[in-house]
Structure 1
Amino acid sequence: MFSFKSIFRIVALLEGLSYILLLFIATPIKYLADDPQYVKLLGMPHGILFIAYIAMTFMLKPDYSWNTKQFITVLVASIIPFGTFYIDKVYLKSTTV
């Protein structure tokens, strides 16, 4: 069925997408159009996906044998726009668990 790796890749994609939507669509609408509904709509799903991404990163560290620098890079990518897409391409697609 689905491996833990593929679930992590889906969570990383959704977390990255929700972060981009929150930063570049919802927040400008909130402040420029005085309409906070999109931030409220995207905020909770993004928060849940962020927590899931961090938790799954800790769970996958032994499977991938990430060194400390790689592990921190994977964690920090969750707070950088487009970071999770980079992680998927560099760390997740090229390795197999």
Structure 2
Amino acid sequence: MVKIFKNIAILEGISYLALFANMLLVKPTNLELYKTFLYPIGMTHGVLFIGYVASAFLITKSQKWSFGTLSIVLIASLLPLATFFVERKYVQVPVSK
């Protein structure tokens, strides 16, 4: 489950950046091409966001996160690039034998 969370964290961060970049391009250019991509990118990001939050709750016990650490992990889902930081700093993949 931890590896899944790490993958979701990375994908959620990428989708957040793609959504943000696309929104920045839609406003000044008003091109239909960018509007076409806005919905699928937004929907993908929404699904990944829900997956990130749900999987964060699921791995809280196995990662031995305190309430403060879980709060940081959840707040990171609201900030661009923060999920990359969380994935590196707070998630330890268990060593298999």
Q: Helix, strand or coil for the counterpart of 2:30?
A: coil
- Which of the two has higher C-alpha Rg? 2
Query: What's the offset of the Cα at 1:22?
Result: 0.7
Query: Structure 2: which 5+ residue stretches go unaligned?
Result: none
Larger RCO (alpha carbons 8 Å, 6+ apart): 2
Query: Structure 1: which 5+ residue stretches go unaligned?
Result: none
Large movers: runs of 4+ above 2 Å: none
Q: CA 1:10/1:96 → structure 2, altered by over 3 Å: closer, same or farther?
A: closer
Identity across the alignment (%): 31
Q: Helix, strand or coil for the counterpart of 2:90?
A: helix
Aligned residues: 91
Give the corresponding residue for 1:32: 28
RMSD value, Cα: 1.0
Q: Which amino acid aligns with 1:54?
A: V
Within 5 Å, which residues of 2 pair with 1:1-97? 4-23=1-20, 25-35=21-31, 36-92=35-91, 95-97=92-94
Query: What's the offset of the Cα at 1:50?
Result: 0.3
Give TM-score scaled by structure 1 length.
0.88
Query: What's the offset of the Cα at 1:41?
Result: 2.4
Give TM-score scaled by structure 2 length.
0.88
